[in-house]
A and B are shown apart, each in its own frame.
Chain A
Amino acid sequence: GTRIIYDRSFLLKMRNSPIAS
């Protein structure tokens, strides 16, 4: 099936999203 792939830069960008902090 389809796999959920995220690249490093996207994941790092998400570090600062308000929902994660």
Chain B
Amino acid sequence: RTRSLEPIDGHHRLQYTYCIWYSRRTPGKLTNPLTYDQSLRIIATFSTVEQFWSVQSYLLRPSELSGHSDLHLFKDGIKPLWEDDANKEGGKWIVRLRKGLASRCWENLILAILGEQFMVGEEICGAVVSIRSQEDIISVWNKTANDSITTIRIRDTLKRVLNLPLNTIMEYKTHNDSLRDHSSF
């Protein structure tokens, strides 16, 4: 893993330290969890606004990624896996986007997470943008799937910050269900 960046004097601290992970998925449902775990790479860590923009300036935007690629933004210490201690009782909101929207939506979502706009305490674990051939998918992971007040608040904030058409379908899936059917979406 990359070294953890120490905040620098004069920088604007974020509420949490975050890691950006990258993975490429083999197409198909039955992805071996071990292989998937091994495909995850931390590509950046940051804890201030300035470090975040510095990282953003060299990272590829979601629309520039090819194949079945995933970019993950997670709090430091939480691995973007269903089985991670912070995720195992959790779930995620899934938003399917037509091609062409992912980069803008992903940046809007990241800004809302880093700026603590969701107002759900410690509940947000991270978010993923998944590049697929026909569509792109954004998901926001939270800790407690059965906390309906929190999940509804996350959905409403997500709708607002992504600025999506009103008829966009959003679906919540628990990580337990994902583990059971070996499928993320």
| Residues of A with C-beta under 8 A to B11 | 19
Chain B proximity mask over A1-14: 1 for CB below 8 Å, otherwise 0: 00111111011101
| Residues of B with C-beta under 8 A to A14 | 12, 49-50, 53
Tell me the interface secondary structure of chain B in the complex.
Answer: helix
Of residues 68 through 109 on chain B, the ones whose CB sits less than 8 Å from some CB of chain A are 108
In the assembled complex, the CB of A2 is this many whole angstroms from the nearest CB of chain B, namely: 9
A12 to B111 alpha-carbon distance, docked (Å): 8
Inter-chain residue pair count (beta carbon < 8 A): 51
| Residues of A with C-beta under 8 A to B42 | none
| Residues of A with C-beta under 8 A to B116 | 3-6
Q: Are A3 and B54 in contact (CB under 8 A)?
A: no
| Residues of A with C-beta under 8 A to B40 | none
A11 to B114 alpha-carbon distance, docked (Å): 9
In the assembled complex, the CB of B127 is this many whole angstroms from the nearest CB of chain A, namely: 15
| Residues of B with C-beta under 8 A to A12 | 111
Instruction: Please classify how large the interface on chain B is, using the bins under 10, 10 to 19, 20 to 34, 35 or more.
Output: 20 to 34
A20 to B56 alpha-carbon distance, docked (Å): 10
In the assembled complex, the CB of A16 is this many whole angstroms from the nearest CB of chain B, namely: 8
Give the residue name and chain of the A residue nearest to B112 (CB).
A8
Partner of A20, one of B13, B50, B111, B115: B50
Q: Are B112 and A20 in contact (CB under 8 A)?
A: no
Assess whether B57 is interfacial by the CB under 8 Å rule.
yes
Assess whether B184 is interfacial by the CB under 8 Å rule.
no
| Residues of B with C-beta under 8 A to A11 | 49, 111, 114-115
The 7 closest A-B pairs by CB, nearest first: A20-B53, A6-B115, A20-B50, A4-B15, A5-B116, A19-B50, A14-B49
